[in-house]
Amino acid sequence: MKGKILVVEDESSILTIIRTYLTNAGFTVISSDNGLDALALAKQSPPDLIVLDLNLPGMDGLDVAVRLREWSDVYILMLTARGEEVDRITGLQLGADDYLTKPFSPRELVARVEALLRRRRATSFRSHLTRFQNIAIDPDGHVAYAGDKALDMTATEFQVLWALVRHAGRVLTRDQLMTQVWGANYYGTERVVDVYVGQVRRKLQEATGKVLIETVRGVGYKFVDDPDR
Ligand code: CA
């Protein structure tokens, strides 16, 4: 078995095609035609990857992705219809790992699914640590290391760091950080993000002598692996 895929798609003809191709490629497929059931299913029987249609009746794909990201790092491949450029970008910001525009070739979909899962294996093979030049992160143990030394961080500080590290080299807006760390239903101010990022940056700097989190003015923050380069 190559992995379990949850397909969330309300159009039964498309669902059937996706299911057929993924099953033939060796995956176990579970499915749902709406967001609420999909969330329940993902919790009850955690999949390795979710193929998520953007346009769903009731709760749409973006809402599902945001809710999922409150407690899950599962890979999400978002399906969008043509001309949903804005939604597509938002979808990626909200935590989809890749997207595919309809109509798509089912072979392409299988290739994308396999590519995402390979990415996961490549990282988990090297033990549980995600290593950078200056620090290493153990996402399961919620610990960051500089050399052999574990950094003293609060749970929230670690979540802030982990969110930035997962998007290393890319900018995360304050809004995205807030959603990923505090959840979509948190209505605090973005100031709290600045405070936590400041604390994390200071701790990293004390431990490594380097500024590993850059402020991108007017946009947000970025984790940089090797700031000297
Ligand atoms: Ca649909």
Query: What's the pLDDT tens digit per position in 72-109?
Result: 878 899 998 766 655 555 656 666 788 888 889 999 99
Using alpha carbons, select from 41, 49, 2 the residue that is nearest to residue 25.
2
Query: What's the pLDDT tens digit per position in 155-165?
Result: 889 999 999 99
CA 111 to ligand 1 center in whole angstroms: 21
Token output for 13:
């003809």
CB-based contacts of 155, cutoff 8 Å, min separation 6? 142
CA 10 to ligand 1 center in whole angstroms: 5
CA distance to 17, 34, 79, 111, per residue, from 104 (Å): 11, 21, 9, 12
Q: What percent of the chain has pLDDT over 70?
A: 89
CA 3 to ligand 1 center in whole angstroms: 24
Q: At what angle do helices 35-44 and 61-69 cross, to 10 degrees?
A: 30
More confident residue, 17 or 180: 17
Give the integer Cα–Cα distance in Å for 158 and 155: 5
- The answer to whether 60 and 88 have CB atoms below 8 angstroms apart is no
Q: Which helix (H) or strand (E) segment is 65 a member of?
A: helix 61-69
Instruction: Compute the chain's Rg from CA coordinates.
Output: 19
**Every domain range in the chain assigned CATH 1.10.10.10:** 130-223
CA 54 to ligand 1 center in whole angstroms: 7
Q: How confident is the model at residue 204 (pLDDT cuts 50, 70, 90)?
A: very high
CATH class, domain 4-122, is: alpha beta
**Every domain range in the chain assigned CATH 3.40.50.2300:** 4-122
CA 84 to ligand 1 center in whole angstroms: 13
pLDDT of residue 159: 92
Best CATH choice for the domain 130-223 from the list 1.20.200.10, 1.10.10.10, 3.40.190.10, 1.10.240.10 = 1.10.10.10
Q: Strand runs (DSSP E) across the chain, as ranges?
A: 4-8, 28-32, 49-53, 75-81, 98-102, 130-131, 136-138, 143-146, 149-150, 171-173, 213-216, 220-223
pLDDT of residue 94: 63
CA 160 to ligand 1 center in whole angstroms: 33
Q: Report the side by side order of strands in the sheet with 220-223.
A: 171-173, 220-223, 213-216
CA 80 to ligand 1 center in whole angstroms: 8
Q: For the whole model, what pTM was predicted?
A: 0.55
For 158-175, what is the mean pLDDT?
91
Q: At what angle do helices 155-166 and 191-208 cross, to 10 degrees?
A: 80
- Statement: residue 191 has pLDDT above 90: no
CA 101 to ligand 1 center in whole angstroms: 12
Give the integer Cα–Cα distance in Å for 163 and 172: 9
User: Considering only 5-14, 23-32, 94-103, 144-153, which range has the smallest mean pLDDT?
Assistant: 94-103
pLDDT of residue 125: 41
CA distance to 53, 158, 159, 179, per residue, from 154 (Å): 36, 6, 9, 18
CA 33 to ligand 1 center in whole angstroms: 9
CA 15 to ligand 1 center in whole angstroms: 10
